[in-house]
Structure formats: structure tokens, C-alpha cells
Structure 1
Amino acid sequence: MLKQTPLYNLHLELDAKMVPFAGYLMPLHYGKGTLHEHLHCRSHAGFFDISHMGQCLILGGDAIHELGKLIPSDISGLKSGGQKYTVLTNDDGGIMDDIVITRIDTGLMIVVNAACKDKDFKHLYNHLGGRCCFNELSSQALLALQGPAAASVIDKFSPQAAELSFMQACGTYINGIKCNISRSGYTGEDGFEISVGRHYAEQLACLLLAEDEVEPVGLAARDTLRLEAGLCLYGHELSESISPVEAGLQWLIKKTDVDFPGAYKILAQLERGPEKIRVGLLIDSKIPVREGSIICNSEGIAVGYVTSGSFSPSLGQPIAMALLDPFIVESRSPLHAMVRDHRITVTVTPLPFIPHRYRR
């Protein structure tokens, strides 16, 4: 049985095409279509329902120390209201999930991916339950407002939240509705994520959507936005068999106190280099190169595969991310992908495709 977020009825009223996603019925796009939604988010502000994602609390004085044993990042210096993007790793150095941690006065708040939340919560509870208090926040919804107009919209309701910098959070009120707001998101744009009680989610959503600059955005545009921003997606660039180094996330790995799951493999890759690395690809064709497409060198030998691929509305051409042999990337050898009967030239390009516009 597919679940529904608190905004399900509102999505139907907004002419959303609903599809199954991570066990939920979610809006793929609305009446104006994916292209319009994508470009509106880049130029104005997009509203996203991300209530399918998991939220939890780890409470207690040992929360930071205990969670620190499960992740490759250093969170010891995280101050109240500060956020950290990181990953949960398995014993083989693979990625169980990518998560966002927020320091609160009583411990930590964590947001995890919808498709991973059951295994994540079980993993966290099993490793932390005896020393910290673990609470799933099933009564909370999660909304996002992303785009260059997001800050001016939020400022009308909470000047305190509008003053946050990227990866900072605060508790505040919007029209009397208690919520936690972070200056974060997954589009590459400046924006905010808002955790609010499920019973107030529709009221808050309608309040934001009533603003002239704000329009709803579905899953399809959410994906093309994050792809343009060169951001990883679990199940694509991240998985139980892909390490943080291979995914290009070596910047989040701490340099000391390296006792975390899979550290032996991850540290070895940092020292000697990984067997594959994540790269961006520009596609020399009008035909998108989709996930799973094999990338070959000039001799037709497979050197990697596409993890995400789509048409970029901002660039007006297909783009992709792929995991490739590092030697091939360094050699700048000609590469191509086979899509049906078409041999399509692809060119490695720096990530992100579109510059990030976070408020630092």
C-alpha cells in the first residue's frame, strides 16, 4: 500500500501527476510541466514536498560522539544550529545513505532519504539506542523552498530564518506555526528546508504557494535541478558498493580519528586512488544518455557507465554523470556512449554543470 504525504490532497488540487516513489505517491510534475518548473526554480522560487524523507532525533550528551563512530566526517565541532552533509558507510566502505545532520541543543536531528529510512533508522537505533535516545519524527512533514526568490519570501514570514547562512538552521514561527528552518536544499540554488508538524503542513504550503514568486515543483524537475548542480542521488551515484572517494565526496572524510565502518578501504583509496571516479559528461547529441549506458573509449572498450542522465533545461542539451576509470579521465581520451543504434560522443566536464548559488 503506497503511503501519502500530508500534502497529497493539495497536490491533486494543483493538477499534479502522481506516481509511486520510495513507497509514496508523489507529484512527478504539475500542469505546466517539468521544463517550466525547472526554469521557474532557477529564476524565481520552487516549492517542493519532501515529506517522504525520514527525520529523526538522536538525543543525549553522547550523541555527537556516538554518531561520529558511524560516519567518515568530523562533527565534533558542530555548533548548535550548524549542519553537516555526510554519509553512513558500511563495513566494506560503501555508502548506506547520504544524510544531513543538524546540531540542536539536546543532541542531533538527522534527515535521511525516503528509500533508505527504514534501514537507516534500524542501523542508527541498533548502534546508538543503548547510549542515546533515538526518536523517529514521524509526526513531522518536510517542505523545501528553492530559488533566487526564496530568501525574500522567507523574510516576509521569518526574518530570523532569512538571516541564516548556508547549512545553518534555527527554530522559528511562520504565521504562528512552529517550525525548524535550515538554509539548505538539493537544487544548487539558495533555499530553505522547513520541518513542520504534519497537521500544519498544508496550511504552511498554501501560505508559501500564495506568494507570486512561488510555484510547485515535482520529482522530475527536482531530479534535473540536482543533476545540473552535480549533486549525488542515492541509488545512482551513491550505493552500498560505491565509496565516498569514488563518488567524489572525499572532502567530507575526516583526517584524524578514522575509526568508522569501512575506513580501511576508504583510506586506502584516498592514498592510492579509487578504481572509478564520478565525473560530469556533456552529450554531443539531442538524444539523452540515460542511467546504465556504457561509456567506451575509441577502441570500443568499456571504461565506465552513466549513473544519471537527462536533458538540461538550463543548458539546452543533454548532460550526465558517470563513474569512469580515472586513467581514462586523466588521459582525456575520446569517449562515446551507445544508445540504441547511435554512437554518441561524450566529453568529460567539471562539476557542477550550473554554478551553485548558496548563501555562504
Structure 2
Amino acid sequence: MAESDSALLETPLASLHRELGGRMVPFAGYAMPVQYPAGIMQEHLHCRAAASLFDVSHMGQAELVGEGAAKALEALTPADVQGLKPGRQRYGLLMTMAGGIFDDFMVANLGDRLFLVVNASRKEQDLALIGAALPAGVSLRPLPDRALIALQGPQAVASIATLAPGIADLSFMGIGAFEIAGVPAIVSRSGYTGEDGVEISVPAESAEKFARALLALPGVQPAGLGARDSLRLEAGLCLYGNDIDETTSPVEANLVWTIGKRRRTEWNFAGAERVRQELDTGARRLRVGIRPEGRQPARGHTEVHAGGQKVGEVTSGGFGPSVNGPVAMGYVAREHAADGTPLDLMVRGKPLAARVAPLPFTPHRYAR
């Protein structure tokens, strides 16, 4: 059932999106711009070439405060949170007791507190899950009064550094507090496009002024959800609810790298038993990249066949503007997961030839 416009929440930048010609659509309970007049293809390619501004204020932001906050969070995630140094951020997975992925999230050490960013579609559930796991003396503070803006692309950091030079000194996954255009901001050198760039948390009441200051920088253009999705797909990055969910494990999802080295000796996080077993014996299925032959894309839920049998399913698929062809990700049975393995994608009842392809489809260009 379609969500009515009246029932949708709005981010602090909603009026700016409309002013810029953004086409608003329902997403995770919010009215969000899917594209601007330039169109998804141009927005995507501009991000790969220059700098694009994305509104990601629908995401959930929160702080964990108190002695033992990092240890408490480790009960829910295989990430090494206690080993996270001040001024550093990490990508992690929240886990179910059965070993599925409850959500993916970012956690940063701001010195006196942990800063969390979780997915829009899961934020209420995530904060409830985390809150229930906290011991006395550790508190979770949701931050609903903050906006989140991503500036992504090879020129993003150079552009914003004209307003706050210290940002250029951050390395990939570095985070710090800055004043930018008169607005206090928490800036992390991270993003979900495969490009270099930053994500910036600012007070909601200053968000529009702040976004206008960034859009006034040379080379910066707005981009919507459409380009954000095609960029992250080319970069081989998972979208929660499509590529990962409570049925998928970190091993199946090829996210084993998120499990800290120390955590693999302790096995004291939710779902550890399934993760340990799959690391020992191999997962039944694996997330892979898929390149369809020809020009026709295969969308999510397309069946993947091999030898006339169903061996998996596409979870994300579309046209990759940077690779100038269709790209997809999905899960296939382990014996069909090697790069180059031929597959058939069942598009409108007809087999479309494809092959397993290495991820990412477009090289990551993070500031290592």
C-alpha cells in the first residue's frame, strides 16, 4: 500500500529539495528526493567526477555515554568497538541471537562518547535493541534534532576544506568536530558511494543554511536517492532490507572483515555460534557480484539459475552508469560463487546470460 504524503515524515531539508526541483518519493517513512531535474544518470556521473550533496537526515543518530559503553555494544556486534581509538569510526553489524544481521551501522569514538548512525528503516528497532542491552551507568541518547548530509566525490574534501581546512587532514574513517560556515559539525571521512567524501552531522535548525553553503561551493551539485543507490551498487555496498537482513549472516554476506580479530577469539556476541560454524564449515550461499550480458538489467528478486536449477536470487540490480552496463548483487549457492561462473537470470520468464563478477564493479577511491 502506498504511503500517503500526509503520513510521511520530512527531513530539515525538505523545502530546499522542492526548491531545487527534487522529485519527492516515499522512502523509509520519509518524503525524500529520488532525483533532481538533471536526472539520476547525470547525478551519478557527477558524483564520480566532482562532488555531490546527499541528504541522509532520515538516518538515525544517537550517542552512547558512560563507563563500559563500548563493551556493552560489543554484546550486539562482532565489531571491535573497545579497540576503536578516539577520532576513529568503524562500520559494523548489529546481530540477532540466531546469527542474522539486525542492521548495519557506523560507530565512532568521539573521546567522551560513542556516536552511532543507523538505518532509517530500522532506527526505532535498533535503538530499542541497544537500549535493552545496556548496563547501569551507560545511557543511550537518540539525536532526533540533528541532520546528516553526505558530500561525496573526488572533489568533495577539497571543496569543503575551503570552509574548514582541518577536514583535509582526516584520513578514511577519521572523525572530528569542526565549525563550518558558522555551524558546529561532526565530520567523518566516510560515505556510501565508493568515492572519497564526508558525512556531516549538524543541528537540524542549521541544516538548510549549511546545505546552501555547500551547494554554493564550486563543483557541488545535489543528488537524490536514485544516484545514491546506483553508486553504492557499483561500489558493491549492501543496502539493508535488500542485500542483508535478519536471515543473512556476516559470512554469507561476505562481511567477515567486520568481525574484529579479538572478537574471533572471544565469540561473545549475539549470533556468534552460527558465525563460528559457517567460518569453520562454509556458508550454504554467498553474496556475489553479477554481470548480465547485453544491456538489460536484472532487478531485485530475479531468480538465478544454473544448469536449469534455481541456485539463488538477485538482491540489488540496475544499470551502472560508470561501467556503462547492467550490474547486480545477489546470493548464490556456494558451489556457484566463484568469479566467472556462468549463470542464467530469469527475466520475464526468459534466461538472461550472466556471470559471477568480482566486487566492487567500480574501484573504491577512499583516502587511505
- TM-score of the alignment, normalized to the shorter chain, above 0.5: yes
Structure 1 residue ranges (4+ consecutive) displaced by more than 6 angstroms after TM superposition = none
Q: In the alignment, which of 344, 351, 359 is matched to residue 336 of structure 1?
A: 344
Q: What corresponds to 2:154 in structure 1?
A: 148
Q: In the alignment, which of 277, 292, 297 is matched to residue 288 of structure 1?
A: 297
Instruction: For 1:227 and 1:346, locate their aligned partners in 2 and report how far apart those are by CA, in whole Å.
Output: 17
Q: In the alignment, which of 170, 194, 204 is matched to residue 198 of structure 1?
A: 204
Secondary structure class of the residue paired with 1:256 = helix
Instruction: For 2:178 and 2:339, locate their aligned partners in 1 and report how far apart those are by CA, in whole Å.
Output: 52
Identify the range of structure 1 (228-237 vs 249-258) with the bigger mean alpha-carbon deviation: 249-258
Secondary structure class of the residue paired with 2:217 = coil
Q: Given residue 321 of structure 2, which amino acid in structure 1 is its aligned partner? A: P
- 1:143-177 CA distance string (max 9 Å, x none): 00000010111110111112100001000100221
Q: In the alignment, which of 198, 221, 224 is matched to residue 218 of structure 1?
A: 224
Q: What corresponds to 2:3 in structure 1?
A: none
Instruction: For 1:106 and 1:117, locate their aligned partners in 2 and report how far apart those are by CA, in whole Å.
Output: 23
Secondary structure class of the residue paired with 2:266 = coil
Instruction: For 1:90 and 1:137, locate their aligned partners in 2 and report how far apart those are by CA, in whole Å.
Output: 24
- Counterpart check, 1:44 vs 2:50: yes
- 1:199-229 CA distance string (max 9 Å, x none): 0000010000011200000000000000000
Instruction: For 2:201 and 2:340, locate their aligned partners in 1 and report how far apart those are by CA, in whole Å.
Output: 45
Instruction: For 1:131 and 1:290, locate their aligned partners in 2 and report how far apart those are by CA, in whole Å.
Output: 47
Q: 1:160 to 1:331 in 2, by over 3 A?
A: closer
Q: Note the aligned Cα RMSD (angstroms).
A: 1.1
Alignment TM-score, normalising by the size of structure 1: 0.98
- Counterpart check, 1:111 vs 2:120: no
Q: What corresponds to 1:244 in structure 2?
A: 250
Gaps of 5+ in 1: none
Q: What corresponds to 2:72 in structure 1?
A: 66
Q: CA deviation at 1:295?
A: 0.5
Q: What corresponds to 2:92 in structure 1?
A: 86
CA contact (8 A) 2:339 2:356 kept: no
Instruction: For 1:341 and 1:67, locate their aligned partners in 2 and report how far apart those are by CA, in whole Å.
Output: 46
Q: In the alignment, which of 105, 108, 111 is matched to residue 102 of structure 1?
A: 108
CA contact (8 A) 2:341 2:356 kept: no
CA contact (8 A) 2:72 2:135 kept: no
Percent identity between the two aligned chains? 45
Instruction: For 2:277 and 2:125, locate their aligned partners in 1 and report how far apart those are by CA, in whole Å.
Output: 27
CA contact (8 A) 1:64 1:107 kept: no
Q: What corresponds to 1:18 in structure 2?
A: 24
CA contact (8 A) 2:342 2:356 kept: no
Q: In the alignment, which of 262, 265, 271 is matched to residue 262 of structure 1?
A: 271
Q: 1:269 to 1:196 in 2, by over 3 A?
A: same
Secondary structure class of the residue paired with 1:173 = strand
Instruction: For 1:56 and 1:309, locate their aligned partners in 2 and report how far apart those are by CA, in whole Å.
Output: 31
Instruction: For 1:331 and 1:159, locate their aligned partners in 2 and report how far apart those are by CA, in whole Å.
Output: 43
Instruction: For 1:105 and 1:333, locate their aligned partners in 2 and report how far apart those are by CA, in whole Å.
Output: 47
- 1:304-323 CA distance string (max 9 Å, x none): 10010000001111010010
- 1:123-150 CA distance string (max 9 Å, x none): 1111116341110001110000000010
Instruction: For 1:110 and 1:118, locate their aligned partners in 2 and report how far apart those are by CA, in whole Å.
Output: 13
Gaps of 5+ in 2: 1-6
Q: What corresponds to 1:357 in structure 2?
A: 365
Q: 1:333 to 1:183 in 2, by over 3 A?
A: closer
Q: 1:129 to 1:135 in 2, by over 3 A?
A: farther
Q: Given residue 282 of structure 2, which amino acid in structure 1 is its aligned partner? A: G
Q: CA deviation at 1:331?
A: 8.9
Q: CA deviation at 1:94?
A: 0.3
CA contact (8 A) 1:61 1:107 kept: no
Equivalent residue pairs, number? 359
Aligned positions of 1:153-164 closer than 5 A: 153-164=159-170
Q: Given residue 354 of structure 1, which amino acid in structure 2 is its aligned partner? A: T
